[in-house]
Amino acid sequence: MATSKTSCVILAGGKGERLYPITLTRPKPLCPVGNATCLTRCILAAKNAGVDDITVAACYLADKIKKEVSSFENVKVKRETTMLGTAGCVRKCAVSGDDVLVLSGDGVNDFDLKSLIEYHKKAGFICTVAITRSPYPTEYGVVTAKEGIVRRFNEKPGWEKVTSDTVNTGIYVLSRQALSFIPRNRFFDFSNDLFPLLMKKGYDIAAWESAGFWCDIGNPKALYDCSMRYTGDRSAISPSAVVKEDASVNASIVMENVVIGKRAVIDSSIICENVKIGDNVLIPKGCVIGGNAQIGEGAVLSEGITVTSGAVIGKGGRILKDVRFGGVKGRLFDGDEGINGIYGETFDLSDGVAFGKALCEAAGNGRDIKIGVMYAPTAHSRLLGESISGGIRYAGAVFCDLGEGFSSLCGFCAKEYYLDFSVFAEVKNDLSLSVQVYDTSWSPIRGKTIKSIESSFYRGGSKAAPFPSPPIVPEKFEAPLYLYSGALLSRGKGLAGMSFAVDLANLPGKVLLSTAEKLGAAVSNDASVLPRISVTDDGRGLDIITESGKTMDFWQILCFYLGVEAEYKKIIYIPEDTPAAATEYAVLKGSDCRRCTESRDPGKDFDPCFRDGCFLGISVLEMLSNKGMSFDEMAASIPEFYIRTVTGEYDEAYKASKIRKLCDECGREDGARFVFDKGSVRFIPSSHKGFRIISEAASSEYAQELCDFALEKLKD
């Protein structure tokens, strides 16, 4: 019987934008890893696995790819002229043989690929995916597998969506049958298109796990770390580089035709090709110098500086700051939580300008793009907001100055003014910062939008527009607070006869009091009066203390609202983080509650009460007025449940492994949620801390016990 033949396709067409400025002058697969390029290591790995027929799919700087592989036998280059996605590109290569091994030209590994191919052929699967464990799964695609079969793919999730530490390496073995499902001449991806299609049709996809070394050189730090592994933390200096007398080069990557002057010091940095470094220059740890740059005699850089390709630094220059292109953090956004950090350290005014430009590029560029900026009422917040608005105007988009406000109001503006994005910037007294971005549906941006903004930010954002746009002041068409207050008034018909107090510690509270008064309620700001209503500083949360002193939080109040709404609406679209008790109560009242990650269909928008404490407050007050109910009666009408949230610190390097173990223990693939007779507790990985722990129980005491249980579980 004839032995089946396996060919290989190496995907090497991407621009590698998170590696900028390194990839401004070379394709990502030609980045050096030790003494060989990433692409060369891929070709040798395929040949060592017994594959001779190798096709390299190239697009960006394809001529350099072709030159690199010219010395290898049976290796050809297929130039892409139309971007077809990973799967579409493999189909276009028209490879021979019964199976095809797919490798990523920017991935380095020491896997036994021969064993992978043999496993695939012996098991008879339609395709096999090589997976491995990584402490940083948000940089890759997460694969959930059980007993060697793939159950779910989740492409580059935010931390809050991570359920495992097993990641997709981009190494596949595909049968000829699998290739037949890839449409010709159409953009088609493996993780997002082909694999879900095969699973939908009932095919099992094998997961082949390897414990060997694997690295995707996705950003400068990953490239540096990978190279140092192959050199034993010694410098990798190209033979064509010139290092003059008394110069010191320690644990660095120095590429082709670099000239390093006398007594220059370079430590733990990346120096791209054709860079000229003068005498007595200091380049400390973590710097990246783009190709063709020139650094004058005696110049001194600070740690972690990036110098873009072709830049010229004059004699004696002191470089303290530059836009970061893929730093240690790896991700700009902390999932749905927006951008968090320390003002002036992890994110400063120059980052704000680059961020504003990146927003414009992600929205599509052009003068028809409209972006608003709002900021908290502090001097640093305003300055940060102005830096972001400067980047927006620089890129030529229409900038709307939304002025001072709060986060929920900013999201409201995105919807009401039909903005592509609205941005809320806040710097607190301790200099901790938060940047929230909303889209036109009043939703925090997610998924592909975040990735698009991050990609643009790391390469510096849009170029300058010929004529920067003048700012539009919202007062010219309708001030944000005026419009917001009008929308609140429309939620109620009259609150005459109602009496309560409102906490005026913040702007949302003042807006709620003003609206209630206009609707006829007798409202006090006396902190000793009950019942009393308070809204959180960001405008999202709401608390009520009833006549008898019982406290109701946002979710309990929303539970009542959903129960009343169920009398009129049979279908209610609710965010996926809505507590089970609130959902079950609405279902009990006759509603069909449909959980959604996000809403994009205008007919399926989330009710504003899910987004905003003032909207919920006025809506509930209207319901109480219509039904003649007191606040105590409202509290008594809903099921007794309590929500508690705590943060559990955890080592960043082991967080992904822990969430996988927790998911396995509770038997869930969609997240770690432990369910008990009287309540449940969820573990949600957080970008900048360990875990967010959310418990839900019938009593406050038991909710706290569940949080304590979860914290103890993190110690296991």
Nearest to 606 by CA among 547, 658, 565: 565
Q: In DSSP terms, which residues pair with 57 in a beta bridge?
A: 11, 78
**DSSP per-residue letters across 365-381:** -STT-EEEEEE-SSHHH
Query: What is the rounded distance in angstroms from the CA atom of residue 255 to the CA atom of residue 321?
Result: 24
**DSSP per-residue letters across 139-189:** GSEEEEEETTEEEEEEES--GGG---SEEEEEEEEEEHHHHTTSPTTS---
Per the CATH hierarchy, to which homologous superfamily does domain 6-216 belong? Spore Coat Polysaccharide Biosynthesis Protein SpsA; Chain A (3.90.550.10)
CB 610 within 8 A of CB 576: no
Contacts of 472 (CB under 8 A, 6+ apart): 398, 399, 400, 401
| Alpha carbon separation from 643 to 139, 528, 650, 696 (Å, rounded) | 32, 25, 22, 5
Nearest to 542 by CA among 408, 383, 420: 408
DSSP H or E stretch at residue 222: helix 220-231
| Per-residue confidence (pLDDT) for residue 227, from 0 to 100 | 94
Select the more confidently predicted residue: 177 or 594.
Answer: 177
| Per-residue confidence (pLDDT) for residue 477, from 0 to 100 | 56
| Per-residue confidence (pLDDT) for residue 323, from 0 to 100 | 38
Query: What is the rounded distance in angstroms from the CA atom of residue 43 to the CA atom of residue 66?
Result: 13
Q: Residue 650 has which token pair?
A: 């955890």
Query: What is the rounded distance in angstroms from the CA atom of residue 683 to the CA atom of residue 666?
Result: 11
DSSP H or E stretch at residue 667: none
Query: What is the rounded distance in angstroms from the CA atom of residue 549 to the CA atom of residue 344?
Result: 44
Query: What is the rounded distance in angstroms from the CA atom of residue 346 to the CA atom of residue 332?
Result: 10
How is the chain split among helix, strand and coil, in percent rounded to 5? 35, 25, 40
| Per-residue confidence (pLDDT) for residue 2, from 0 to 100 | 44
Specify the DSSP class assigned to residue 28: G
- Rounded to whole angstroms, the maximal C-alpha distance in the chain is 91
Query: What is the rounded distance in angstroms from the CA atom of residue 105 to the CA atom of residue 127?
Result: 20
Specify the DSSP class assigned to residue 192: I
Per the CATH hierarchy, to which homologous superfamily does domain 642-713 belong? Alpha-D-phosphohexomutase, C-terminal domain (3.30.310.50)
Domains 234-319 and 335-478 share a fold: no
Res. 512 pLDDT band, cuts 50 70 90: very high
Query: What is the rounded distance in angstroms from the CA atom of residue 80 to the CA atom of residue 44?
Result: 23
Nearest to 521 by CA among 508, 533, 535: 533
Residues 611-617, mean pLDDT to the nearest whole number: 93
Query: What is the rounded distance in angstroms from the CA atom of residue 403 to the CA atom of residue 155?
Result: 37
Query: What is the rounded distance in angstroms from the CA atom of residue 621 to the CA atom of residue 641?
Result: 21
CB 75 within 8 A of CB 69: yes
Query: What is the rounded distance in angstroms from the CA atom of residue 346 to the CA atom of residue 330?
Result: 12
Res. 335 pLDDT band, cuts 50 70 90: low
Say whether pLDDT at 526 is over 50: yes
Q: Tell me which CATH code domain 492-637 carries.
A: 3.40.120
Quick: pLDDT tens for 40-60: 999 999 999 999 889 999 988
Contacts of 193 (CB under 8 A, 6+ apart): 85, 87
Residues 187-209, mean pLDDT to the nearest whole number: 91
Query: What is the rounded distance in angstroms from the CA atom of residue 510 to the CA atom of residue 504?
Result: 5
Q: Residue 647 has which token pair?
A: 């943060």
| Helices 613-627 and 554-565: angle between axes, nearest 10 degrees | 50
Query: What is the rounded distance in angstroms from the CA atom of residue 664 to the CA atom of residue 168?
Result: 19
Contacts of 63 (CB under 8 A, 6+ apart): none
Say whether pLDDT at 474 is over 70: no
Residues 507-517, mean pLDDT to the nearest whole number: 94
Residues 187-196, mean pLDDT to the nearest whole number: 90
Say whether pLDDT at 327 is over 60: no
Residue 144 backbone phi and psi in degrees, to 5: -100, 120
Q: What percent of the chain has pLDDT over 90?
A: 47
Q: Residue 297 has which token pair?
A: 């005699």
Res. 326 pLDDT band, cuts 50 70 90: very low
Q: In DSSP terms, which residues pair with 592 in a beta bridge?
A: 571
DSSP H or E stretch at residue 87: helix 85-92
Say whether pLDDT at 375 is over 60: yes
Query: What is the rounded distance in angstroms from the CA atom of residue 39 to the CA atom of residue 36?
Result: 8
Q: Does CATH place domain 335-478 in 3.30.465.10?
A: no
Nearest to 560 by CA among 643, 488, 637: 637
Say whether pLDDT at 317 is over 90: no
Quick: pLDDT tens for 537-572: 999 999 999 999 999 999 899 989 988 888 777 777
CA torsion sign for 263, 269, 272, 273 is: positive
| Helices 379-394 and 349-363: angle between axes, nearest 10 degrees | 40
Res. 502 pLDDT band, cuts 50 70 90: very high
Specify the DSSP class assigned to residue 415: H
Nearest to 327 by CA among 654, 31, 18, 26: 18
Residues 340-360, mean pLDDT to the nearest whole number: 87
Query: What is the rounded distance in angstroms from the CA atom of residue 484 to the CA atom of residue 464?
Result: 34
Residue 125 backbone phi and psi in degrees, to 5: -75, 160
Q: Tell me which CATH code domain 234-319 carries.
A: 2.160.10.10
CA 315 to chain CA centroid, Å, is: 40
* In the chain, domain spans: 6-216, 234-319, 335-478, 492-637, 642-713
Of 6-15, 265-274, 310-319, 665-674, the range with the highest mean pLDDT is 265-274
CB 12 within 8 A of CB 56: yes
Residues 207-226, mean pLDDT to the nearest whole number: 89
- Per-position b or e across 375-407, b if 16+ CB within 10 A of its CB: bbeeebbbbbbbbbbbbbbbbbbbbbbbbbbbb
Residues 126-153, mean pLDDT to the nearest whole number: 88
Query: What is the rounded distance in angstroms from the CA atom of residue 385 to the CA atom of residue 383?
Result: 5
Res. 602 pLDDT band, cuts 50 70 90: very low
CB 109 within 8 A of CB 219: no
Nearest to 213 by CA among 204, 221, 200, 222: 222
